[in-house]
């Protein structure tokens, strides 16, 4: 309830920032100072050249030492909202190599698991408790990728034959859906089901995670839990949706050295990302016109971004000095909506 009250006062987008630790690949000496530092639970600073500091405030700031478990603790109220029948979207934003996939999917099993498997686990616990109270609970998952403004179904088996064309449509009750999309029934309490779907997700998102030209870093992946709780006696049905989005790398195209045709391609590939920026700015400015229809990503996720939907933007940051420019851009993007 508290969440709903705060929601009314502050709109429906929250912004968290997470600074990843230095990694061996960063090539930084032990004990080097990070370019981005947490100042408090809600503040961070980024150190520019010539000693210039930029300070930012967010709804939450996680230091490099934060555990996956702690991050999920702070995220679980959003998952609960989806269980309660809301449209919810969690975004992982940041330049390639900043930790988006680590945050969303995680690396491996156990403690390193990210938001997706932990969210499924929370759904499973809720399902068990609702079923004890006489409810029927159903979870379906879908998993798609938006690349160059084209939707691809990542759960469709087999590479041969005609691939269906996917469009975003609105049904009779105003719910948005994607045509021809595989919706897989899944038991959130079945470890094998969860592992299988995580393997499928990992196949698409962790390929060449540091290669800025890899398709995986230039496409958006949207993993969705479709949740339906129904109670025949109470004649009640709750339909919630949890979208878990691993966004394309936010780096500007100059960094990846694209020129000519390639640069043009990069611009259209990132149409959804720039449109998301425009949408966030419009929401931040309380503008009366928010251009959701301008891209596939914003149109698909509009119900989470507007009305009584709920959105969390998790901004991932690299601590390296060479990432200063990209980190500053990410922070400015994130504070526009905050
Ligand atoms: P992105 O998806 O933004 O390109 P990744 O999530 O693939 O970035 O992260 C890049 C690398 O850094 C991966 O090897 C990942 O395991 C590692 N990494 C990211 N965040 C953390 C973290 N908080 N702790 C440990 N390793 C991390
Ligand atoms: Mg990634």
**Residues 240-255 pLDDT 10s:** 999 999 999 998 765 4
Q: How far is the CA of 99 from the centre of ligand 2 (A)?
A: 7
Q: Taking the CB of residue 95, how many other CB atoms lie within 10 A of it? A: 23
Listed in order, strand segments (DSSP E) in the chain are 13-19, 36-40, 43-47, 53-57, 60-62, 87-93, 136-147, 150-153, 168-170, 176-178, 184-185, 220-231, 236-246, 310-317
Q: How far is the CA of 26 from the centre of ligand 1 (A)?
A: 11
Output phi, psi for 190, to 5 deg. Answer: -100, 110
The residues pairing with 178 across neighbouring beta strands, listed in sequence order, are 168
Ligand 1 touching residue 209 (CB < 6 A): yes
pLDDT recorded at residue 257: 56
Q: b or e along 286-298 (b: 16 or more beta carbons within 10 Å of the residue's beta carbon)?
A: eeeebebebbbbb
Helix or strand or coil: residue 148?
Answer: coil
pLDDT recorded at residue 318: 96
pLDDT recorded at residue 203: 75
> What mean pLDDT do residues 80-84 have?
95
- State which ligand 1 atom lies nearest to the alpha carbon of 316: 3
For a substitution probing ligand 1, which of 20, 38, 108, 214 has the most ligand atoms within 8 Å of its CB? 20
Query: Is the pLDDT assigned to residue 189 strictly greater than 90?
Result: yes
State both tokens at 121: 């686990």
Q: Using pLDDT thresholds of 50, 70 and 90, give the confidence band for residue 10.
A: low
The residue extents of the domains of the chain are 2-337
Query: How far apart, in whole angstroms, are the C-alpha atoms of residue 229 and residue 245?
Result: 23
* Domain 2-337, classified CATH 3.40.850.10, yes or no: yes
Per DSSP, the chain holds a count of helices (H) and strands (E) of: 10, 14
Q: b or e along 245-264 (b: 16 or more beta carbons within 10 Å of the residue's beta carbon)?
A: bbbbbbbebeebebeeeeee
pLDDT recorded at residue 3: 55
Q: Using pLDDT thresholds of 50, 70 and 90, give the confidence band for residue 214.
A: low
**Residues 266-292 pLDDT 10s:** 666 578 888 999 998 888 888 888 999
Ligand 1 touching residue 310 (CB < 6 A): no
- State which ligand 1 atom lies nearest to the alpha carbon of 217: 4
């Amino acid at each position: 309830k508290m969440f709903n009250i705060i929601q009314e006062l502050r709109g429906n987008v929250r912004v968290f920032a997470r600074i990843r630790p230095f990694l061996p690949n960063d090539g930084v000496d032990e004990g080097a100072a990070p370019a981005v530092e947490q100042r408090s639970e809600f503040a961070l600073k980024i150190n520019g050249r010539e000693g210039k500091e930029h300070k930012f405030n967010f709804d939450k700031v996680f230091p490099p030492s934060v555990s996956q478990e702690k991050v999920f603790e702070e995220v679980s109220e959003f998952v609960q909202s989806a269980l309660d029948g809301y449209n919810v979207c969690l975004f992982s934003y940041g330049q390639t190599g900043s930790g988006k996939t680590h945050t969303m999917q995680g690396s491996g099993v156990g403690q390193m698991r990210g938001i997706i498997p932990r969210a499924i686990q929370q759904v499973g616990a809720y399902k068990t408790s609702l079923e004890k109270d006489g409810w029927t609970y159903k979870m379906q998952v879908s998993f798609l990728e938006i690349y160059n403004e084209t939707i691809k179904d990542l759960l469709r088996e087999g590479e041969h034959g005609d691939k269906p064309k996917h469009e975003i449509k609105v049904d009779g009750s105003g719910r948005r859906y994607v045509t021809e999309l595989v919706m897989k029934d899944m038991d959130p309490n079945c470890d094998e089901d969860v592992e299988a779907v995580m393997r499928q997700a990992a196949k698409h998102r962790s390929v060449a995670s540091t290669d800025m030209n890899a398709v995986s870093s230039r496409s958006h992946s949207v993993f969705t839990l479709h949740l339906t709780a129904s109670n025949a006696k109470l004649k009640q049905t709750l339909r919630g949706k949890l979208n878990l989005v691993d966004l394309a790398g936010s780096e500007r195209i100059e960094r990846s050295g694209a020129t000519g045709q390639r640069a043009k391609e990069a611009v259209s590939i990132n149409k959804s990302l720039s449109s998301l920026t425009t949408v966030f700015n419009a929401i931040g400015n309380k503008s009366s016109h928010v251009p959701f229809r301008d891209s596939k990503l914003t149109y698909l996720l509009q119900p989470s971004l507007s009305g009584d939907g709920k959105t969390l933007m998790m901004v991932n940051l690299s601590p390296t000095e060479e990432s200063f420019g990209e980190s500053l851009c990410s922070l400015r993007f994130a504070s526009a909506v905050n």
